[in-house]
Structure 1
Amino acid sequence: MTSMASDLARALDRGRWFADASYQPDAWQQRAATSSSKRQLWNVHRQGGKSLTAGVKAIAHACEEPGAPVLVIAPAMRQAAETIRTVAALHSRVSGLPSIVNQSVHRVELSTGSRIISLPSSEGTIRGFSKVALLILDEASRIPDEIIAACRPMLAVSDGEMVALSTPRGMVGWFYEQWANGGDGWERVRVPVTECPRISAEFLEEEKRLLGPSVFNQEYLCEFVADDSQVFPNEVIAAAFTSEVTPLWPQ
């Protein structure tokens, strides 16, 4: 197949990126890569393939949209650098792509002018980006809420796509709130370890024994577990509030 035909085939079906890079995706990875939703939440167990799927999303956008900036925000420097490694590996495994003209620990720039930039979640590093084609929040449950709030305006002009991927981290924070109460604007993907064919039952039994049920359920079964340090459970706190109150100063 010619390069132009391959490019068109991948643009029509982004799931082809996995096969072209010689990966065998899980069913959820194929669905997530081909989703047309502008707002996606991926609640996926540890070692479930989140980073690879996000890398496919990133390089697909960069190759299909000349000049498009793709921004990845991660909780820490190490994770941000790992995303670029994933993107570079994908690029090296697929023939006929636009060449990389600039690469560093946190950036890949293609000959088409598209850039994939991966940064740690510091307000000083993320300010100044605009017209972002794709915003990826890697391990979103561990990114501070104020950083996510600072990122959202980057999509205003471009009407860009936003993907937040994570394992849960308690019943608090932006990722939990959007998952539980964010409304119908989000496409939600939940992938517990029971849907992963690569992890053995023996390993999971050992993890459950070492981590305990609460941490195991959160890390591998994608359940949002209340923090043990809370005095009152979340449902009790929520039940204490009501909107059915007569205003002190009626309009």
Structure 2
Amino acid sequence: MSAALARQLERVEALAAARSTAAADRLAAYRADPARLFADGIGEPDPWQAEFLRSTDRLNLILCARQVGKSSVVATLALHTALTVPHSTVVIVCPIEAQANEMLRKVASGYNAAGRPVAARREAVTTLELVNGSRVIALPGKERSVHSYTATLLIIDEAARVGDEVYHAASPQLSASQGRLVALSTAFSKSGWFFKEWTEGTGFRRWSITARECPRHTPEFLDRERRSMGDRWFAMSYLNEFGDDVAAVFSTEDIAASLNNDIKPLFGRS
């Protein structure tokens, strides 16, 4: 081997060692503070985003206004899990395929921005698989598509629009692993599993972030949206208020007010 070739080989080996050390340092920093991954991949997190990423609650419901950064923060959590928990499986369920693809794109974007501290084994539209054995899988919200996985982390995006049958098909993914659930959504109708768990469920940590708590929504923008959308849709989209189904004949409040256990039935047992 010539002296020049030997020197070139030494430089390559030194560069590879430096990159390996830098990657290890980044992973250590991300383990110490998951919000650092958000900062490296996207920018400075909002206070609620940093708090969420640093939390360890197993069951989480996130009720958020539009465009407050909920997809970005759960994409960061998905990536953080894949990077720092070898052999983990992160499953992301979205209402439709296009949303699933967009969510994985956010994961891939954060991965590239963070310098790819763990090498990729496979990259596809709906899957990111790393050499540490971890993978992130994004699926459309169809009952038949969410079987056969054991999830370390299960994320359900736009959960208020994901059908009950999809949720009940996906939730067993957490049984054997005792994994984490993160269901995030803007408010929608007063029906379905997400509304029921938000209002009646037990064991969940609930995160509520309205548009007024997001520094990127100006009062002028919100006033314009209210005038354009009307109070009902504005309240669902920006104020975290669930609304009655547009096809409902009677409001939820009117139905509840009509029920009276003190009135005895005319027929049958009282």
TM-score by length of 2: 0.85
1:59 Cα offset (Å): 0.5
Change in CA separation of 1:217 and 1:22 when aligned onto 2, cut-off 3 Å: closer
**2:95 aligned with 1:75:** yes
Contact 2:23/2:118 (<8 A) preserved: no
Q: Distance in 2 between matches of 1:236 and 1:46?
A: 29
Structure 1 counterpart of 2:37: 17
Q: Cα–Cα, structure 1 residues 241 and 175, in superposed 2: closer, same or farther, change >3 Å? A: farther
Moved more, 3-12 or 37-46: 3-12
1:80: how far off? 0.2
Q: Which amino acid aligns with 2:112?
A: S
Q: Could you tell me how far 1:238 is from its partner in structure 2?
A: 4.2
Which stretch of structure 1 is more off in the superposition, 133-142 or 220-229?
A: 220-229
Percent identity reads: 35
Q: Distance in 2 between matches of 1:174 and 1:120?
A: 17
Contact 2:26 2:117 in 1 (8 A): no
> Given the superposition, is the C-alpha separation of residues 74 and 96 from structure 1 closer, same or farther in structure 2, using an over 3 Å criterion?
closer
* Mapped partners of 1:208, 1:63: distance in 2: 41
Preserved contact between residue 42 and residue 110 of structure 2 (Cα < 8 Å): no
State the one-letter code of the partner of 1:194.
R
- Matches of 1:207 and 1:11 in 2, distance apart? 40
Give the corresponding residue for 1:142: 161
The letter of the residue matching 1:10 is Y
Between stretches 228-237 and 206-215, larger displacement belongs to 228-237
1:178 aligns with 2:197: yes
State the AA in 1 paired with 2:160: S
How many angstroms apart in 2 are the aligned matches of 1:151 and 1:96? 29
1:109 Cα deviation after fit: 0.6
Aligned equivalent of 1:195: 213
Match of 2:228 in 1: 210
Give the corresponding residue for 2:255.
237
- Distance in 1, Cα, partners of 2:234 & 2:249: 22
How far, CA to CA, are the matches of 1:20 and 1:210 in structure 2?
36
Matched, 1:117 2:144: no
Q: Distance in 1 between matches of 2:148 and 2:260?
A: 38
Higher mean alpha-carbon deviation, 63-72 vs 90-99, is at 90-99
**Structure with greater Cα Rg:** 2
Alpha-carbon shift at residue 22 of structure 1 (Å): 4.8
Write 1 or 2 for the structure with the bigger share of helix. 2
Q: State the match for 2:4 in structure 1.
A: none
Partner of 1:89: 109
SS at match of 2:155: strand
Other structure's SS at 1:15 match: helix
Runs (5+) with no aligned partner, structure 2: 1-20
Alpha-carbon displacement from aligned partner over 1:87-142 (angstroms, at most 9, x marks no partner)? 11000111251112211111111111111000101122111112x10000000001
CA shift in 2, pair 1:8/1:206, >3 Å: same
Aligned residues, how many? 243
Unaligned runs of 5+ in 1: none
Q: Which moved more, 1:222-231 or 1:100-109?
A: 222-231
Superposition RMSD on alpha carbons, in Å?
1.9
Runs of 4+ in 1 over 4 A off after TM superposition: none
- State the partner residue of 1:166: 185
- Aligned partner of residue 116 in structure 1, secondary structure: strand
Secondary structure class of the residue paired with 2:232: helix
1:6 to 26, 30, 33: 26
Q: Which amino acid aligns with 2:219?
A: A
Q: Report the 3-state secondary structure (helix = DSSP H, G, I; strand = E; otherwise coil) of the residue aligned with 1:203.
A: helix
Find the counterpart in structure 2 of residue 48 from structure 1.
68
In 1, the alpha carbon distance for the partners of 2:166 and 2:212 equals 32
